[in-house]
Every structure is written in structure tokens, then in C-alpha cells.
Chain A
Amino acid sequence: MLQGWVIAVTSFAYLGLLFAIAYYADKRADAGRSVIASPYIYSLSLAVYATAWTFYGSVGRAASDGVGFLPIYIGPTLMIALWWVVMRKILRISKENRITSLADFIAARYGKSALIGGAVTVIAVIGILPYISLQLKAVSNGFLILTQYPEIVMPAKFGAVPLMQDTALWVALILALFTIAFGTRHLDAAEHHEGMVAAIAFESLVKLLAFLAVGVYVTFVVYDGFGDVFERAAASPALAPILTPLEGVAGSYSSWVWLTILSMLAIMFLPRQFQVAVIENKDERHLSKAIWLFPLYMLAINAFVLPIAIGGRLQFPLGIVDADTYVLTIPMAGREELLALLVFIGGLSAATGMVIVETIALSTMVCNDLVMPVLLRMKSLRLTERPDLTGLLLGIRRGAIVLLLLLGYLYFRLAGEAYALVSIGLISFAAVAQFAPAALGGIFWKGGTRRGALAGLVAGFLVWSYALLLPALARSGWLPIGLLERGPWDIELLKPLALFGLQGLDQITHAMIWSMVANVGAYVAVSLAGSPSAEETRQASLFVDVFRRSGDAGGARFWRGKASAPDLRNLLVRFVGAEAADGAFAAYARARGLAWPREPLPADAGLVHHVETQLAGTIGAASARIMVAAVVKEEALSLEEVRTILGEASQVVMYSLQLEQKSRELEAATAGLRAANERLKDLDRLKDDFLSTVTHELRTPLTSIRAFTEILNQEPDIGVAQRQRFLGIVTKETERLTRLINQVLDLAKIESGRADWHESRVDMREVVADAASAMGQVFQERGIRVELKLPERVRAVSADLDRMTQVMQNLLSNAVKFCSPGDGHVEIELCEQAGWLRVDVRDNGPGVAPRDREVIFDKFHQVGDTLTEKPQGTGLGLPISRHIVEHHGGRIWVQAGAPGAHGSAGACFSFTLPLLRDAALEEAA
């Protein structure tokens, strides 16, 4: 069943499916409904880290040295924990500066240096080529092995094949076409490839499922679970190195450590990882899910590596079947055709995912940071005057993709067979690790300079070439092998694999130690020896302090010169097209509150900066700088001026912090004053109310006294009985007047704190009984039934006896006033509650409405409409009672009482007093 055409058709169907997914995602993105704006898609797209190298190579490495493959996946797990700090910063910087690639990022940090961008691009291309060739090798080998089914024959046995019959060449060409279709269909101003990301996320699922399927097959179908696999391995002496892998070998721990560090750096600085993690990121909050989902993915895809490796070693004699192909050959040996096909598709998805993203990232770098800066500098081409450059940009990128894949194929053809998959991948890892000092140093250390970064990159790259690339070429037969064994010119100290006599380490560890020493050393030393230029100082500040600046265009304040808005627009149109350019201008105008194009935009520093940033999003920071400089007249800022601006900026930040502090204090003070003012106004109003109420209250009895005395005075022949009655009224009104004045004086005394209090031990039962009997006459007159509910005995309180009597009389006379005559009912109850004595006075009158329950304790407040109804009291009884109760440390309030006869709510006035502490002791005695 597994003929060549079946495999080919299946592969093309799979690629077609990928393309459909990408097409759908692109359409959705154009409609503004992105499918990739999800933390899950983001996490899956990060899994482009797992390439064909993981898919086939992990088993290969595990088959020879056991756990040795694991640091490559543990390293990223450790690194991604730091992403919340490191990657969030890189994301923020990249969004603000519209970074398009790793080279662009490093170049922008060091003064938008085209030289640095070019150097990074060259290192990345040379370093990554073997890695791309590895993918081609994996796919073409997989295809060749599968077509031999049911035989298991290694492709190396075929010998040299003619160029046009080489599967790898066809794989490279197909992948190049596919990548062009994916990544460079049109020019996106923001360098987002939504369709590509969606397809990559899907590929990550496919390769995981395929690998898990073969893992489950080997572990549970061929063998009988993990225990069985390891038991059989233990029984075979040849497999001992797999089971006790770190046994006493000198340097194995150091190799473990360096592999971990290497992969920690690779997860950040492989161009494809930077592409999916930074450039294609939609939202920095996606990090919080990716931080644990991506490591989980790696754990899952590694879980079955060892069982497969052991299974392969047990099934196939050493040397016949390449361990890198066990994933494919074990299902073939078991006659599982479908599973073998699935594995091939899994490997294909791992390889295509890597190739697509890597070549898109590299082609962007080649175009923006290598070719364009050179073309723009060549005055004879007059590129700065061409009306439309979008076609040129796309052409360069497409050309770069084809070139990269053909170079990858060339490497495969010339040198690919000398190494196992894992070694090739590690050589690439070591190359991109050279970016770490300049990139990480650049975002945390302002002191790093352009010269320092360049020196570090070049030094690290040279050591890498000498210690890793040179031996690779020598082993492939392109250089004399004696170079490795005796060193150049027979100088022992310069042997590429034991530089300066450092021996006993594996090749990668050895190269990493020396290249990092050279790289970091040169970066730090050269940076410290010189001093940065104005442009570098400014970019350093924009990068390192990215979280400290506010959202305004931070770069704009460093620009001074003359420009014209139409020139700037034309410039943008040439690179991104009229539509995108107008969109960018409109967005800028909106932020400024201008109705562009009706109102002209001022061609100030802000606009120039905006255009440069937009441009940088398409052609990279360094090229954008050149283009903008060509259309505007700018004055170069000196280093001193930049420093002054930075100094001013930090002073402004400090001042504004101080201002904020001050204004917060002021606000607090103002709020306090306003509250005090409100209180004063309230008091003032209360005083006015008080005065007018008092005079009103005094005038009522005075008026009637005056009226009756005038009658008595003017009518001498009035009858005795009549006279007696009038005099009685006058006396009563005078008494009322006296009472009122006494109460006013009383209240004033209590309020001002000048009242005399005569505290003594008081038995409230007596007070209640006395007050009730003193009012007995009044109750009888009105026909009101009084009920006393007094306990046998209560504990004493400390109180002023006369004042407490006054409170009781106030409450009782209130109750009398509001009870309906005839069927009135007043109930007085006394009880103890947890340290308090509580007195309730209930009546069956109309009750107090809930909204009045607080205000009736205010002075002169009388419930009801005072204009139409005759007030029934002085309005001072309750305020005085409240003052007295509160003076004794108690509380007074009113609530609904027992319902009255006519359905009236009734009122219950209650107050509490604290019980005497030693009253309890007395009771105990």
C-alpha cells in the first residue's frame, strides 16, 4: 500500500489542508476576527521549537546516551519561567518600535545600526543553514525509507544519486513555493502572518499526536507497559549506558549544564522562536498561559522517547538501522502501515513548521537588514525616488526564501551525512546563542554600545566558526582532517576541538565556553572602553526604560529639524501603499484631535517619529532611518543634548511624581475643609432653626397670656367664674413658658457640658415605678391603661436619679400625648441584656414613620405638619433625653411597637444603660 505515489499524494493533501487553514485564518484576520488571538494558539505556535530534530533526533540521541536529550527541553522550561520578566519587556519594546525581526531588534537597540543588523543576519543565516538542511534530510530520508516498505533499508546505502532524482531537492523546492505562498503573499505593515501562525499551531498538534501514537504503540502494543520496556532493557548488557547514563563519565554533568544553558538561549534567539513569540504575538497577557502550556507540550512529546529508543535498540542490531529513524522503522517492522504513514506526516509537519517560520523570519532579516540598507545607500539606484517599492520588497523576500532553501539543500548534499541529527541542531543552537549578550544586555544595561555589541557578535561568531563549523567541514572532507588532530601549523594549543588545551569536554560544551568568554568579554570590554553616541544613548534609554516611560511617543522628543507632511506621506506610500499610509496618517491625526486631511498636519517631531516607526514595521529600523533622513532636513543632536533631554526627562518624571504627591495631599486637605464647612453650615442652620423655633414656641403662650390679661383689664364687669377660668389659663400658660425656658436652659447646659451630674447607684425599677405613679393622674384622665413589666430585681446602674426620672417622664408624657384617648395602652418593660439594662416604653399610638426615627431626637423636631396641627410638645424632651442617656454611656432609639387597636403601628422607645460592674459581685455575695 505504501507506494511512492500514495505517500506523495498524502503529503500534498496534508500541505493543502495546511494552506486551507492559513487561508481561512488570513480571511478571518482581514475581517477583523482573528483566530490566533488566543493564548492556546500562541502556546501551540511556540511549539515550532519541536522540529524534525525533536521528532526523529531525540530518539536517536536517547538510543546512545539515555537522558542526554532532555536538557534541550528542560532548558526552555526554565527559561520560560523568566519570560514574565524578560519576554514581557521584549514584547513591549518591539510593539512600541514596530520591530520586524531579531536582527531589527538588536540593530534598533544599538542606535539603529545597519552594520549590527547585517552582522546578526549573516550569523543567523550561516548558523541556521545546517538546521534547515537537517529538516530536508529528515523529510527526504523518511520518504525514502517509507517507500522501501516492507523492507527496512537506510538511504545512505543507496549511494550518490543524480541531482534531479534527489528527493531532498524536490522537498526543498516544494517547501520554498509553499513558504512563499504562506509568508509573502502580500506586504503587511505590521509583519503579522496570521495564516502562518494558525497553520503552525495545527502542525504542532499533528506532530504531537503522531509522536504519542507511535509512543503508545511501542510501549503498550509491542511491549507490555513502561515497566516491561525497562525490564527488558536491564536484561540486555548492551543497553546499560542508556539506563545509567551519567555514570562517572568526566564532563557529563558539565555537558548537561551547558546543553541546558544553550537551549535556554535558543528558545529566545532562534529566529523562528523570536518570530512566533514576539513578532506574531497579539497580546502580552497570552504569556501567562504559554508559561506553563508550552513546557507541558514538551513534557508530553518527550514522555515516550526512551521507550521508543529502547524498543529500537532491542529490535534492530546496532549499525543496521539508524537510531534517528526508529520512530518510523518500528511501526514498519510491525507491519503497521497506517501508523507508519501517520508518523511520516508527523515528521513532515515538524519539518515544514520549522522551515516555513524560519525562512520567513530569515527572509525578513535578509531583506530589511542586509539587502535594503545596501540598496538604499547605493545612490546610483535612486531607490529613494522610486514611487512604489512594495514589489521590490516582496521580490527580495521571495528570492531570499528560495535561496535559503537551496543553500540548505547544498549543505545537505555536501556535508549533511557526516553528522547525526542532534549534532547538527546543536551547532545551530550555539550560533544563535551568540545573540544573547547583545540582546539581553541591551534590554537591561544602558552601558552597552554599538561597538561593544559588534565586537561581541563578531568574536563569538569567529570562535563558533573555528570550534564547530571548521570541524564539521573537516569531517565532511572539505578541509584536511589533520587540522583537527594536530591543530593548524601543528600548534597543539590551537586545535579546534581542544582550544588552549581545554580537553575532556564534548564539542558543544567546549565551543560554548570559549565563544561565550569571547562574546561577553568583547561586548563588555569594548562597551566600557568607549562611550556611546547620541543615537545609542537615546535608543538605550528607550529600550531599558520601556516600562518607566508613559505612553507618549518617547522617541519624538529627540528629534529636531524641518519636514513636510506631504513628503512624509509620499515616503510611506512608496513602502506600504496608499491605503495603509492614509490609515497611519488618519490614526495619528485622530490621536492629535485633527480632522486630517481637511486640516493639515503639522510636520513636527511627533509626525516624523510616527512615520519612521510605521516604516520600521515594514523595512526595519535601520532602513527606515535612512529613508526618513532622506526626505527631511534634520539637525543632528549632540551627545550632550541627548543627555540633557534624558536628564530633563528623568527630572520631569521626578517633578511630576512630587506634583502628584502634593496634589493628592491638597485634595485630602480640601476634602477635610469641605467636610468641616458642611458641618459649620449645618450648625449654623441648626442655630437659626433653634432661634426661630424658640421664639415661635415662646410667643404662643405669651400671646394667649396677653390676650386674657387684656380682656381682664378692659372688661371690669366680667363674672367671677369667668375671671377664675381666665386666670387659670394664664397660670397654665405661664407654667408652660417657665417649663419651656427651663428646658432650653437645661439643654444649653447639657450641650455645653456645664450640667451638674449627681451619679449614684440607682435601681431603675424604682425610677420606672415612681415616674409611672407621678403620671398616674394624667393616665387616668385620658383613660389610658398602663402596664408595668418589671422583673423581680435588676442590677443597679450608676446614674443621676433626677435625670433618669426626667427621661422616664419625657417618654411617658410622649406616650400619653400620642395614645388615642379611650383605648390607649402603654407598656413599660425592664430587662437585662449582656451587661446592659434595657427600658422599653411601648404605646399603641400612630407610631413613628421609619424616615422620622432618627430626626425626632433633634431639637424642636415635631412629627407631623406643624403648620396645620397644633404642636403637642416643646420638641425638646427627646433631645434632652438623648443627651442624658448618652451621657450615661447608653443609647436611645425608637422602633415599631405593638400594633394599635385601629391598625396603627405603635411606637416603642427604648434606651439602654450599662450595668455596674460590681453589681454582679454584689449579686454573687
Chain B
Amino acid sequence: MGEFETRGQRLIALCLLGCLLFNYPILAIFNLPGTVLGIPVLYAWVFGAWAALIALMAWAAERKD
């Protein structure tokens, strides 16, 4: 049960992190003209943060303590 609770808490924390990253005001910081590697800043941010969040979720959900 202990392991399941730790996993649950890590995933809840990641959900909160996601709510922060994909929301005002963090989103507004990246709402700029211009590009990163040819991709508009906002898209680069959303897709990059999304991929990073999925990686963290994979780590949290699969990790065996």
C-alpha cells in the first residue's frame, strides 16, 4: 500500500505541475511572436512541456520503490 500511495502522490503532483505549465500566466510568457528552431514559440512550449510531462508521468507510474 505504501508504494501505491507514493505513486499516487507523485502523479497528483505531476497533474498540478501540468495545470501550472498549461495555464495562465505561464502560457502567456510564451505567447510571443518569433520562432524556436523554425517553430512558433507557443507551439514549441506546449509540445515540449507536454512531452516532458509524459516522460515524468512514465517515470512516476512505472517506478518500483
Q: How many inter-chain contacts with C-beta < 8 Å in the A-B complex? A: 103
For A88, list chain B residues within 8 Å (CB). Answer: 4
Given contacts A85-B8, A246-B28, contact A299 B61 (CB under 8 A): no
For B33, list chain A residues within 8 Å (CB). Answer: 243-244
Closest partner residue, chain B, to A71 (CB atom) = B22
Q: In the bound complex, do residue B27 and residue A84 qualify as a contact, i.e. CB atoms below 8 Å apart?
A: no
For B46, list chain A residues within 8 Å (CB). Answer: 67, 70, 74
Q: In the bound complex, do residue A306 and residue B43 qualify as a contact, i.e. CB atoms below 8 Å apart?
A: yes
Q: Of residues 1 to 49 in B, which have CB atoms within 8 Å of A's CB atoms? A: 4, 7-8, 11-12, 14-15, 18-19, 22-24, 27-28, 31, 33, 35, 37-40, 42-43, 46-47
Is B62 in the interface zone, CB < 8 Å from A?
yes
For B4, list chain A residues within 8 Å (CB). Answer: 84, 88
Given contacts A74-B50, A230-B35, A299-B51, contact A81 B42 (CB under 8 A): no
A 263-289 to B, binary, CB cutoff 8 A, 1 in contact else 0: 000000000000000000000000111
Determine the distance from Cα of A245 to Cα of B55 in the docked complex, in whole angstroms.
27
Q: In the bound complex, do residue A78 and residue B61 qualify as a contact, i.e. CB atoms below 8 Å apart?
A: no
Closest partner residue, chain B, to A297 (CB atom) = B54
Determine the distance from Cα of A246 to Cα of B31 in the docked complex, in whole angstroms.
7
In whole Å, how far is B64's beta carbon from the nearest beta carbon of chain A? 10
Determine the distance from Cα of A287 to Cα of B58 in the docked complex, in whole angstroms.
11
For A296, list chain B residues within 8 Å (CB). Answer: 54
Closest partner residue, chain B, to A245 (CB atom) = B42
For A231, list chain B residues within 8 Å (CB). Answer: 38
For A70, list chain B residues within 8 Å (CB). Answer: 46
For A225, list chain B residues within 8 Å (CB). Answer: 38
Determine the distance from Cα of A830 to Cα of B38 in the docked complex, in whole angstroms.
80
Q: In the bound complex, do residue B57 and residue A81 qualify as a contact, i.e. CB atoms below 8 Å apart?
A: yes
Determine the distance from Cα of A234 to Cα of B19 in the docked complex, in whole angstroms.
30
Most B CB atoms within 10 A — which of A78, A243, A253? A78
Q: Of residues 286 to 316 in A, which have CB atoms within 8 Å of B's CB atoms? A: 287-289, 291-292, 295-296, 299, 303, 306
Is A349 in the interface zone, CB < 8 Å from B?
no
For B58, list chain A residues within 8 Å (CB). Answer: 291-292
Determine the distance from Cα of A733 to Cα of B28 in the docked complex, in whole angstroms.
106
In whole Å, how far is A91's beta carbon from the nearest beta carbon of chain B? 13
Q: In the bound complex, do residue A77 and residue B53 qualify as a contact, i.e. CB atoms below 8 Å apart?
A: yes
Set A228, A260, A295: member contacting B57, Cβ < 8 A: A295
Closest partner residue, chain B, to A75 (CB atom) = B22
Q: In the bound complex, do residue B12 and residue A82 qualify as a contact, i.e. CB atoms below 8 Å apart?
A: yes
Determine the distance from Cα of A228 to Cα of B18 in the docked complex, in whole angstroms.
30
Set B7, B38, B54: member contacting A77, Cβ < 8 A: B54
Q: In the bound complex, do residue A246 and residue B42 qualify as a contact, i.e. CB atoms below 8 Å apart?
A: yes
For B24, list chain A residues within 8 Å (CB). Answer: 253, 256-257
Is A566 in the interface zone, CB < 8 Å from B?
no
Is A480 in the interface zone, CB < 8 Å from B?
no
Most B CB atoms within 10 A — which of A85, A88, A253, A292? A292
Given contacts A78-B18, A81-B12, A85-B8, contact A292 B57 (CB under 8 A): yes
Is A227 in the interface zone, CB < 8 Å from B?
yes
Is A444 in the interface zone, CB < 8 Å from B?
no
For B51, list chain A residues within 8 Å (CB). Answer: 299
Q: In the bound complex, do residue A84 and residue B38 qualify as a contact, i.e. CB atoms below 8 Å apart?
A: no
Closest partner residue, chain A, to B22 (CB atom) = A74
Determine the distance from Cα of A257 to Cα of B26 in the docked complex, in whole angstroms.
13
Q: In the bound complex, do residue A81 and residue B43 qualify as a contact, i.e. CB atoms below 8 Å apart?
A: no
In whole Å, how far is B41's beta carbon from the nearest beta carbon of chain A? 10
Q: In the bound complex, do residue A227 and residue B39 qualify as a contact, i.e. CB atoms below 8 Å apart?
A: yes
For A247, list chain B residues within 8 Å (CB). Answer: 31
Q: In the bound complex, do residue A227 and residue B37 qualify as a contact, i.e. CB atoms below 8 Å apart?
A: yes
User: Size band of the B side of the interface?
Assistant: 20 to 34
For B14, list chain A residues within 8 Å (CB). Answer: 81
Determine the distance from Cα of A256 to Cα of B33 in the docked complex, in whole angstroms.
19
Q: In the bound complex, do residue B23 and residue A257 qualify as a contact, i.e. CB atoms below 8 Å apart?
A: yes
Q: In the bound complex, do residue B18 and residue A74 qualify as a contact, i.e. CB atoms below 8 Å apart?
A: yes
Given contacts A245-B42, A246-B31, A291-B57, contact A77 B11 (CB under 8 A): no
Closest partner residue, chain B, to A292 (CB atom) = B58
Q: In the bound complex, do residue A292 and residue B28 qualify as a contact, i.e. CB atoms below 8 Å apart?
A: no
A 848-863 to B, binary, CB cutoff 8 A, 1 in contact else 0: 0000000000000000
Is A757 in the interface zone, CB < 8 Å from B?
no
In whole Å, how far is A85's beta carbon from the nearest beta carbon of chain B? 5
For B19, list chain A residues within 8 Å (CB). Answer: 78
Q: In the bound complex, do residue A84 and residue B7 qualify as a contact, i.e. CB atoms below 8 Å apart?
A: yes
For B18, list chain A residues within 8 Å (CB). Answer: 74, 77-78, 81
Closest partner residue, chain B, to A229 (CB atom) = B38
A 50-91 to B, binary, CB cutoff 8 A, 1 in contact else 0: 000000000000000001001100100111111111001000
Q: In the bound complex, do residue A289 and residue B28 qualify as a contact, i.e. CB atoms below 8 Å apart?
A: no
Given contacts A247-B31, A292-B58, contact A82 B11 (CB under 8 A): yes
For B22, list chain A residues within 8 Å (CB). Answer: 71, 74, 78, 260
For B39, list chain A residues within 8 Å (CB). Answer: 226-227, 230
Given contacts A67-B43, A77-B18, A299-B47, contact A244 B31 (CB under 8 A): yes
Q: In the bound complex, do residue B38 and residue A226 qualify as a contact, i.e. CB atoms below 8 Å apart?
A: yes
Q: Of residues 213 to 250 in A, which have CB atoms within 8 Å of B's CB atoms? A: 225-228, 230-231, 234, 243-247
Q: In the bound complex, do residue A253 and residue B50 qualify as a contact, i.e. CB atoms below 8 Å apart?
A: no
Q: In the bound complex, do residue A85 and residue B54 qualify as a contact, i.e. CB atoms below 8 Å apart?
A: no
Given contacts A82-B11, A85-B12, A288-B61, contact A303 B31 (CB under 8 A): no
Q: Of residues 702 to 758 in A, which have CB atoms within 8 Å of B's CB atoms? A: none
Q: In the bound complex, do residue A291 and residue B23 qualify as a contact, i.e. CB atoms below 8 Å apart?
A: no
For B27, list chain A residues within 8 Å (CB). Answer: 246, 253, 256
Q: In the bound complex, do residue B43 and residue A295 qualify as a contact, i.e. CB atoms below 8 Å apart?
A: no
Given contacts A246-B28, A253-B24, A303-B47, contact A67 B42 (CB under 8 A): yes
For B15, list chain A residues within 8 Å (CB). Answer: 78-79, 81-82
Beyond the given pairs A74-B22, A227-B35, A288-B7, 18 more chain A to chain B contacts, judged by CB atoms under 8 angstroms and listed by A's residue number, are A70-B46, A74-B18, A77-B18, A81-B57, A227-B39, A230-B40, A231-B38, A243-B40, A246-B28, A246-B42, A253-B27, A287-B61, A289-B62, A291-B57, A291-B61, A292-B54, A292-B57, A299-B50
29 sampled A-B residue pairs with Cβ under 8 A: A67-B42, A67-B46, A74-B18, A77-B50, A77-B54, A77-B57, A78-B22, A79-B15, A82-B15, A84-B61, A225-B38, A227-B35, A227-B39, A231-B38, A244-B33, A244-B42, A246-B31, A246-B42, A253-B28, A256-B24, A260-B22, A287-B61, A288-B7, A288-B61, A289-B62, A292-B58, A292-B62, A295-B53, A299-B50
Across the A-B interface, give the 3 residue pairs with the lowest CB-CB distance, nearest first: A227-B38, A292-B58, A81-B15
